[in-house]
Homo-oligomer: A and B are copies of this chain.
Amino acid sequence: MQRYFLTKEAFKGETVTLPSDVVHHIGTVLRQGPGYEMVLLDGTGVEYACVVTSLEKKSGEAKVMSSRQATTELPIEVTLAYALPKGDKVELVAQKATELGVHHLLLFESTRSVAKWDGKKAPKKVERIQKIMQEAAEQSYRAVVPTCTYISPKELQQKIDGYDAVVIAYEESAKEGEQSAFAQLLTQLKPKQRVLVITGPEGGFDVNEINQWTQAGATACAFGPRILRSETAPLYALSAISFALELNRSYENG
């Protein structure tokens, strides 16, 4: 069933006014009209089963039939801090990370990031990524749309203190045969806790970056013994978090 995110304010009564992009999608793209059933989401985790009651060229209304708390969100809140990679990999990661349940995407320029986003470029890029994440959230049955923010390395450093656990994907840990830090860390998490996963650019992290973050309480981890590409490590982390906390009943959250 088609799913659309609206603003929270749209759900004040039994009747919902449909925004113009949703009207366009239902009427022009799907060629549907009154009687069409769909799911509308308020972005806070509630989903509404709705039916279109009227649809004109530029306006439309739907009636709320029922509502319920969505069950498609990860039991913990995951923030991914992804060091700017080359090219359009960041868009791939934004889309896939949304499907896999990420809540916040922080993009930052790490020491070895080749890509540079100057002051003018960043807002446009973030806007585009935010749109990709909204579409991915609708398609993957998410109940909230993850956020995307561009931050400085200094801001990232300051944020580390605010999480219940901070994981760094570090390829030197993989080469050294480190094999259990990430799994151990996940066993200790309780529902609703906040986790930050930091993953690097093509060249990996500089040892000074790793030291700064670990001194602030982060843990350098291997995601298996193989060396993963920049865009693969975040997807491994999120898949593993879902597996451990949503499918594996031996974990606290499972």
Contact = CB atoms under 8 A, between A and B. Distances in A.
A139 B99 contact: no
A28 interface: no
A235 interface: yes
A226 B183 contact: no
A120 interface: no
Given A96-B232, A100-B232, A183-B249, A71 B225 contact: yes
A179 B244 CA distance: 11
Nearest to A92: B92
Question: Which of A95, A99, A246, A248 has most chain B Cβ within 10 Å?
Answer: A248
Interface residues of A, number: 38
Nearest to A231: B96
Contacts of A10: none
A37 B226 CA distance: 20
A99 B228 CA distance: 6
A65 B44 CA distance: 60
A248 B140 contact: no
Interface of A: 71-72, 95-96, 99-101, 139-142, 175, 177, 179-180, 182-183, 222-229, 232, 235-236, 239-240, 242-244, 246-250
